[in-house]
Every structure is written in structure tokens, then in C-alpha cells.
Amino acid sequence: MITPMASQEKTGHRSRRAAARPPRAWQRMLSGRRLDLLAPSPLDIEIEDIAHGLARLARWNGQTSGTHPFSVAQHSLFVVDLCAGYRPLWPPRWKLAALLHDAPEYVIGDLISPFKTAVGLDYKAFERKLESAIHLRFGLPACLPAGIAQVIKRADIASAYFEAVQLAGFSPQEAGRIFGTPRRTALLNVALTPVSTGEAKKRFLRRFRNLAAEADLLPLQAPE
């Protein structure tokens, strides 16, 4: 017979063991990979997981017009197109970097800019660590050259302007005050049309594979 005191002691032991166990800091992906968020390994990153996550992740917290949300995957494709407009002679490796510029969001989500500001530097440090692992996985520099990163950032902000005006209910004047009005590009007259999750994923993977093949980049492989 277990006395109340003995039962309480067992419960206390279990509670102490649970308290001593570190909190789970990894996420299991559909590929089967288990990604440690505190120390992400490039070998646990798969492009199919990235494409799947980004295609299901809505920009603007989903506050956009249309039957489908405008996904981060579709945004990433548009950023590549803008970069190609700014730098027609860019090699495929930098276009691939542009495609992956928001890849960490397949794990951490698409936090709107005001929330990123509120979270502070710890969030940015975590994002950079994950971004470096993604770059290394696909044969890119862990940290992009400053000039390359600047062009991608310019395209990212220009994309936000177009999305804001065409999909998120901003007037051109309001979007211009927040993001700046994009200077002339070949895509100034583009019409953004959100597509389904499946279509966004398919387009993202197709663009990734084409750019990786053109760049002749070899993804990092696990040792034998």
C-alpha cells in the first residue's frame, strides 16, 4: 500500500526531474530532420522543408486581399526578380541568396517589423545564426558580402512597397512614407497575384533547383 506521503515524494521526484530536464529547443521537420534551434546544423536543413514552410507562411499577418494569402515563398520569388532587374549581370549564386533571404522564417515565422523591433537584438542574433547555417548548407557564404546584402535588402523593401499598395490596403503615399517609393525598375508595372500554397511551393522549388544548377553549387553533405 502506498501511503499519501510516499505518493507525494514520488510526485516530487518526478517534478524535480522534469525541472532539471532542459526545455526542448528543436523542431522536427516533415523531412524527418530534427533542427536544433539554439545550434542549427547545416546538415539538418532541407530545401523541401524550407519551401513547404515558406509557402504556408503569410506575409502581412495574412491581412491581404485575394483568395489566397501572399506567402513568403511568393515574396521571395519576387525579390529575386527585382534583384535581377537591379543587377542584370548578377551570377546565379547571388540570385539564389536572394531567394533564400527570408529562409529562416520557415522556422521562426514572418514576424512583422514592429514586433522584431520590440523583441530586440536577441531575435536578430538568432536569425543570423540560422541564416548562416542555411547559407552553408547550400554552398553560399555564411555571411554575404555587404554589397550583395544591400541589393537584396533594397529589393526586399521594394517588394514590401508593391505588396503594401496592391495587396495590403496601403495608399501609395502611405507606403512611400514607410518604405520609400521604388526607383525605376523593369517591374514597376508588375501585378501581384497571390497563388495557392501548393503552387507557391512548386515555383519556389523550381527556381531554387534552376539557380543551384546554374550556379553549380554543391550542397553540404554529411560525412560518410
Say if residue 84's pLDDT is above 90: yes
* Per-residue pLDDT, 19: 53
Quote the pTM value: 0.83
Question: For residue 16, what is the DSSP state?
Answer: H
Q: Return the C-alpha cell found at 168.
A: 495590403
Location of C-alpha cell 512611400: 176
Question: Which residue, chain included where needed, has cell 533542427?
Answer: 35
Mean pLDDT over 160-174 rounds to 96
Question: How far is the C-alpha of 137 from the C-alpha of 221, rounded, in Å?
Answer: 8
Q: How confident is the model at residue 190 (pLDDT cuts 50, 70, 90)?
A: confident
- What are the DSSP E strand ranges found in the chain? 26-28, 34-36
Q: What is the mean pLDDT of residues 93-106?
A: 96
Closest CA to 57 of 135, 108, 110, 18: 110
With 0-12 / 13-18 / 19 or more C-beta atoms within 10 angstroms meaning exposed / middle / buried, residue 12 is: exposed
The residues spanned by each domain of the chain are 47-215
Query: What mean pLDDT comes out for the span 176-181?
Result: 94
For the domain bounded by 47-215, which CATH number is listed? Answer: 1.10.3210.10
User: Is pLDDT at 24 greater than 80 in this prediction?
Assistant: no
